[in-house]
Amino acid sequence: MRIIKKSKEINSVFNSIKETGFVPTLGSLHKGHEYLIKKSVKQNRVTFVSIFLNPKQFNNKKDMEKYPKKLSDDIKICKKNKVDYLFIPSFEEVYSWKTKKRSFPKIQKIMEHRYRKGHFIGVLKVIEKLIDIIPASRLYLGEKDFQQLKIIEDYFKINKIKTKIVKCKTIRNNDGLALSSRNKLLKNSDLKKAADIINFIKKVKFIKYSLAQKKKCIIQFLKNNKISFDYVEFINLKKFTTLEKQSRYMRIFIAFYISKTRLIDNI
Ligand code: AMP
């Protein structure tokens, strides 16, 4: 595995190779990231992983300071999974890269875009650079961050970017909680509490209740357990709009806080 810090060096690799996969990350890798990496290694001749804690997508400075960082472990994980190129750029390296002028899609003011001001603009700004520095044939993104995935998909569509997006399922721990770098900030009892919420939502999803009743039931559960939350939304995954009526494309999206750590999931 080659570790590269300079954008020019990584970009020049593309003169000689085809069938490339790219897994962008914020670092502090876990089995969820590993699933994406393994998929890319299987489907491509060459796999790129980037580790870049992008300040532009953190709407809260403290959140970025607290974000778990474990570069030496990340490097080991990438080596173990046979990553070919690990890109670890500095802020200047990413943002001084000159890209073509492209348009950003219109983002619906729901969920993360409503509660984390500027977050997705920050995500698009970094993806715009990274996908130009690493113009891979396939980009691996997790459904754990479904709204982000949808926005990047829209961005690729309107700008006719040829890279194919490979959607990857959410990897969970044995209790059903989605793996997340932020889980590393939580004690075992907190992880258990978070898993209980997810399992409750899973149950409610399939009860024969109206959407309003389901939502009420989930919110009551959160209140009873003194869990603060930003939203509980029922989304039509096909259209990516808020649902009014039951649909087989329904997924329940949630952002909640456990010991001040914000977790998101969709079930
Ligand atoms: P992050 O480092 O949190 O930005 O995540 C990098 C990529 O890994 C994103 O596409 C995430 O959606 C994906 N990812 C994060 N957690 C998981 C998980 N538990 N299962 C599958 N993919 C994940």
- Write down the pLDDT at residue 15: 79
Residue 17: pLDDT band with limits 50, 70, 90? confident
Query: Are the C-beta atoms of 94 and 7 separated by less than 8 Å?
Result: yes
Is 33 considered catalytic here? yes
Q: Enter the tokens of residue 236.
A: 């039509």
The whole-number average pLDDT for the span 130-159 is: 98
Separation of CA 161 and ligand 1 centre (Å) = 22
CA torsion angle 230 233 238 241 (round to 10): -80
Which of 22, 25, 77, 264 best tests ligand 1's pocket when mutated (most atoms within 8 Å of CB)?
25
Tell whether pTM > 0.75: yes
Instruction: Kindly tell me if the per-residue pLDDT of 258 is higher than 90.
Output: yes
Q: Is the CB of 36 under 6 A from ligand 1?
A: yes
Residue 211: pLDDT band with limits 50, 70, 90? very high
Please identify, by atom number, the ligand 1 atom nearest to the C-alpha of residue 33: 8
Q: Enter the tokens of residue 45.
A: 């001749």
- Write down the pLDDT at residue 30: 98
CA torsion angle 259 148 130 5 (round to 10): 20
Q: Enter the tokens of residue 233.
A: 């939304």
The DSSP secondary structure of the chain, one letter per residue, reads -EEE--HHHHHHGGGT--SEEEEEE-S---HHHHHHHHHHHHH-SEEEEEE---GGG-SSHHHHHHS---HHHHHHHHHHTT-SEEE---HHHHHTS-----PPPP--SSTHHHHSTTHHHHHHHHHHHHHHHS--SEEEEEGGGHHHHHHHHHHHHHTT--PEEEEEPPPB-TTSPBP-GGGGGS-HHHHHHHHHHHHHHHHHHTSS--HHHHHHHHHHHHHHTT--EEEEEEEETTTTEE-SS--TTEEEEEEEEETTEEEEEE-
* Average model confidence (pLDDT) across the chain: 97
Query: Are the C-beta atoms of 19 and 163 separated by less than 8 Å?
Result: no
Please name each of the domains of the chain with its CATH number: 2-168 (3.40.50.620), 186-261 (no CATH)
Q: Is the CB of 107 under 6 A from ligand 1?
A: no
Instruction: Kindly tell me if the per-residue pLDDT of 93 is higher than 90.
Output: yes
Which of 23, 28, 30, 33 best tests ligand 1's pocket when mutated (most atoms within 8 Å of CB)?
33
The whole-number average pLDDT for the span 59-79 is: 96
Query: Are the C-beta atoms of 225 and 197 separated by less than 8 Å?
Result: yes
The whole-number average pLDDT for the span 202-219 is: 96
Residue 16: pLDDT band with limits 50, 70, 90? confident
Q: Is the CB of 39 under 6 A from ligand 1?
A: no
- Cα–Cα distance, 82 to 137 (Å, whole number): 18
How many CB atoms are closer than 10 A to CB 29?
A: 25
The whole-number average pLDDT for the span 220-229 is: 98
